[in-house]
Structure 1
């Protein structure tokens, strides 16, 4: 019974004109019995035919189209191997509405019965061409589709050119079709020609030295040319923050001996960058920043930047001198100095630090930072006398961020691990070891809903936690940690534990309503840390400068206290 049922797919082609001697005439064309690419090809051919033939629609032109359309349908089916299709048709009209119906029975397609594909030349044993043959869409016994045949020829030439075979060609190209017995023969003999290597790379800028620019090359000049290597070079230069425009032109039309010269057109970014910002957060109050950066002080890419941040509770000054490493895309040395002044409800401090760090990439998309810092700090806790501290602190940081969009992400995660410490056997005043792990996970639940999970675990090994200066202590509470409580309300403590779950519901565009539950504390033990809980609702905006959040949170472990409106902004990851 199924075989007698025709799958009906209708394609209506609509045309109307109003000549002087006729009322408006309409022609509807209906194709029955087929679907997919074959139907689309028929529709395209008939549409083109109607547009070229119907300058004026008349009963005579409609009948002429109706009689010649079967030939167009036959031609449209042949690229798919159907040479024996049976087409029955019917033309009716009613009240200036004309209906042309074509019912198609495809019949048996022409099959590939003989196939001879081979590759000669210098690249005959190249793995890329062996894989090309192994994954070819042409096989004996499959229906002949001329589009696949043409794609195979084009794919070979594209593959050869993108891998340095500039003179690749098709030596023999034969397609024989015998419609009477539904057979076909394909002969394709390819020749790769000579395999070219990467030649001289010429950078068109004098802002940087040639030796420095050569460090961006992801290849040796003796390597064979591939388009992938050129794309890697493009990415290295574009992602380096040194250039505003990068254009790479392989000279494939004018090779030199056995090599392809590479022309790299570079436009350096403006040498000096200025940063100004003004904002507000319930944790910090009114805040602002000002900075200046010199992107390239020297022809070897060394740079300098300084940043001043000011708020009602904290003032910071940072100065960084950056020296590119062996791979300037991923490696750099950071010589820095920083000063920090805190005026918090739990105490005050003035800290000064100088450090030397090395930043590089490991594994895949992981960044590690090795740093050695000298830190001097004068501080006091509330109702405690001022103290002085001096530390030599080695530290290690491992950071991994993966997201679909760095500014407005819809999914992603972040892993941030830090280990630091000091020993009184050196020039430090005391011994301590501190570890902290920060995790964040953003995942869409549907096209309009998502969930954000956040967690932090920290531990400080030290004899007396109050002997550790403020800048190294664990605190929690506030719009970025446990909402519903004041900034850094809980602490100090040698153990830190924070968890958060947030549901987001898209309202419109980049605006979301949120509901959240936070819990955390800084205490003397993980086992009886006494988590402080907060719950609330709010709204966020994924703005061009980061995530802006406005929330109303209720502290569940502070009975009698009213809810709190909190505001924050910053990058999602």
Structure 2
């Protein structure tokens, strides 16, 4: 960096003569604020004294440190464009204590008078690199900010490397400051050299077949180098969940001609993962969960998982075998079997199911198609009716295809301040497929989170479902719509909102639910919420809506948000309900 002209620093010392040691008291710095103030305070020798030095400061040493203040202030402010800074210093003595006030006078700032960004080599024709030059943070007339200058240089250098200009060199980088005019000239020049292309991808350390891992490579040999492609490759290898260590980088030392080989180093992760945990839900009761995952069964990358969920009013046991798939979207073929039992105050269901599915990710969406073979037997009625044998009893065999799509966008996986989720599911069954009931059904679910400031969030939720069938009574409860509960309309018991027979909810063809919630965090982990939920499960559109409202306690625990809500339904027969729920917001 070259500078010209000189700067006069104005110093006023109000320093009465005193003998002996002085205790350095308060040191105040005024006249500036923000990052500039922080940098000045870090630069002052007066403020770098330890406690012993402050307590036994001899008069000559104090005078010397005060004489250094103007130069230290000037040096500290230059990175922010102030090259003509001055400082007034006042010392006030009370007894043996010296209190110092430093009034900073930044002066006129230096502004960019001329900016020249030069580029030579193949990158001159690269629109992406030219766009990086166009976004350089300083421009003619801007305040000379050295931090922004360095960020701009680094951004261009990174852009060159990200596009494969590994031989790029900075030929000139000069900032000339003329203090008499408070003006700066910036001159930067790069020679990019050639742009490299992808060479051979070399994979080392893998226990999975190379032919499978090659399908995760998003580029072809000979294509122009893009760092984003390597990030995508790293992400794909991570999502396969085979490896405990993954490193993907261009091996520039082995480059031949204009091709650079890509070195992929991996190491196996832990093969078997065991999980155990406790669960608690108002609807399901207390329970325990156990799981086993075999992250690879063989060198073809197959996976196996099994789970057991045993709660007071919900039990499930299942197993799934997965095979990686890459045909139309990266995902999995899966084959599963499960047994589920669920009991509530209005029904008991027992489901045995086989599922074959194909899942994949496409443009941010998680997509899946599946074939279900399900046998469900059920009893609809309260506990007394089930004990007396007067409950509605049925057994239904269903064979049906289903399709689903889901997308989640959030700025934090556990506690987002902004985000949304969308989910849609469609099922269709017919006697021609072997089902006892012909039906079609869709269900849409949407959630939205927005923040106001750091501690306030608004959460909105909506559900819309519709079933097309003339055999509703034969349709099992798991495919009917019910409302009420901690994830539905709070203020009502689980599955207690909807069409009734002998005052017992039987489920409906349609579902419409909306919810609005305001949350305020009083500490980083504790907060409260107020909410209103409304909706219904219904057969006819004129059946009205049930509304519930309440207050809740929020705890941001290490495993997710814990919600304890007390709500009151507005219907005549509704009382206060306690709802407890644990899990992510989206």
Query: What range describes the TM-score normalised by the shorter chain of this pair?
Result: 0.7 to 0.9
* Structure 1: runs of 5+ lacking an equivalent: 1-18
Q: Secondary structure at the match of 1:527?
A: helix
Q: Could you tell me how far apart the structure 1 residues matched to 2:516 and 2:104 are?
A: 59
Q: Could you tell me how far apart the structure 2 residues matched to 1:570 and 1:406 are?
A: 11
Q: What's 1:292 paired with?
A: 292
Structural mapping, 1:58-137, within 5 Å: 58-66=58-66, 70=70, 85=84, 94-95=93-94, 97=98, 104=105, 106=107, 109=110, 112=113, 116-137=116-137
Q: What's 1:455 paired with?
A: 462
Q: Taking structure 1 as reference, are residues 403 and 162 closer, same or farther at Cα in structure 2, changes over 3 Å only? A: closer
Query: Do structure 1's residue 567 and structure 2's residue 574 form an aligned pair?
Result: no
Q: What's 2:375 paired with?
A: 376
- Give aligned pairs, total: 549
Q: Secondary structure at the match of 2:22?
A: coil
Per-residue CA deviations over 1:147-186 (Å, capped at 9, x if unaligned) read: 6666655544343233322222233455556666777665
Q: What's 2:333 paired with?
A: 333
Q: Could you tell me how far apart the structure 2 residues matched to 1:482 and 1:426 are?
A: 35
Q: Taking structure 1 as reference, are residues 467 and 197 closer, same or farther at Cα in structure 2, changes over 3 Å only? A: same
Q: Could you tell me how far apart the structure 1 residues matched to 2:530 and 2:324 are?
A: 44
- Contact in 1 for aligned 2:82/2:106 (Cα 8 Å): no
Give me the TM-score of the superposition, normalised by structure 2. 0.79
Query: Do structure 1's residue 537 and structure 2's residue 551 form an aligned pair?
Result: yes
Per-residue CA deviations over 1:92-146 (Å, capped at 9, x if unaligned) read: 6644637576674735857635x55422123221123322333335656667666
Q: Could you tell me how far apart the structure 2 residues matched to 1:525 and 1:512 are?
A: 40
Q: What's 2:6 paired with?
A: none
Q: What's 2:405 paired with?
A: 398
Q: What's 2:442 paired with?
A: 435
Q: Taking structure 1 as reference, are residues 397 and 89 closer, same or farther at Cα in structure 2, changes over 3 Å only? A: closer
- Contact in 2 for aligned 1:476/1:491 (Cα 8 Å): no
Q: Taking structure 1 as reference, are residues 226 and 31 closer, same or farther at Cα in structure 2, changes over 3 Å only? A: same
Query: Do structure 1's residue 511 and structure 2's residue 518 form an aligned pair?
Result: no
Deviation at 1:294, TM superposition (A): 1.3
Q: What's the RMSD between the two structures over aligned residues?
A: 3.9
Structural mapping, 1:176-187, within 5 Å: 187=187
- 352-361 or 402-411, which moves further after superposition? 402-411
Q: Could you tell me how far apart the structure 2 residues matched to 1:557 and 1:31 are?
A: 64
Q: What's 1:444 paired with?
A: 451
Structural mapping, 1:111-510, within 5 Å: 112=113, 116-137=116-137, 139=139, 153-172=153-172, 187-326=187-326, 330-363=330-363, 365-382=364-381, 383=390, 386-489=393-496, 490-510=505-525
Deviation at 1:299, TM superposition (A): 2.0
Q: Could you tell me how far apart the structure 1 residues matched to 2:60 and 2:567 are?
A: 77
Q: What's 1:22 paired with?
A: 20
Q: Taking structure 1 as reference, are residues 117 and 284 closer, same or farther at Cα in structure 2, changes over 3 Å only? A: closer
Deviation at 1:302, TM superposition (A): 1.5
Q: Could you tell me how far apart the structure 2 residues matched to 1:386 and 1:481 are?
A: 26
Q: Could you tell me how far apart the structure 2 residues matched to 1:79 and 1:441 are?
A: 43
* Structure 2: runs of 5+ lacking an equivalent: 1-17, 382-389, 497-504
Q: Could you tell me how far apart the structure 2 residues matched to 1:43 and 1:137 are?
A: 27
Structural mapping, 1:26-41, within 5 Å: 26=24
Q: Could you tell me how far apart the structure 2 residues matched to 1:450 and 1:183 are?
A: 47
Q: Could you tell me how far apart the structure 1 residues matched to 2:289 and 2:341 are?
A: 15
Per-residue CA deviations over 1:430-484 (Å, capped at 9, x if unaligned) read: 3211121222333334443433333222211111310212222222233332334
Q: Secondary structure at the match of 1:334?
A: strand
Q: Secondary structure at the match of 1:493?
A: coil
Q: Could you tell me how far apart the structure 2 residues matched to 1:386 and 1:42 are?
A: 80
Q: Taking structure 1 as reference, are residues 72 and 376 closer, same or farther at Cα in structure 2, changes over 3 Å only? A: closer
Deviation at 1:393, TM superposition (A): 1.0
- Contact in 1 for aligned 2:344/2:494 (Cα 8 Å): no
Q: Could you tell me how far apart the structure 2 residues matched to 1:138 and 1:514 are?
A: 45
Q: What's 1:6 paired with?
A: none
Deviation at 1:420, TM superposition (A): 0.9
Q: What's 2:501 paired with?
A: none
Q: Which of 565, 570, 573 matches 1:556?
A: 570
Q: Could you tell me how far apart the structure 2 residues matched to 1:197 and 1:166 are?
A: 11
Give me the TM-score of the superposition, normalised by structure 1. 0.81
Q: Could you tell me how far apart the structure 2 residues matched to 1:198 and 1:44 are?
A: 47
- 191-200 or 244-253, which moves further after superposition? 244-253
Q: Secondary structure at the match of 2:300?
A: coil
- Contact in 1 for aligned 2:462/2:515 (Cα 8 Å): yes
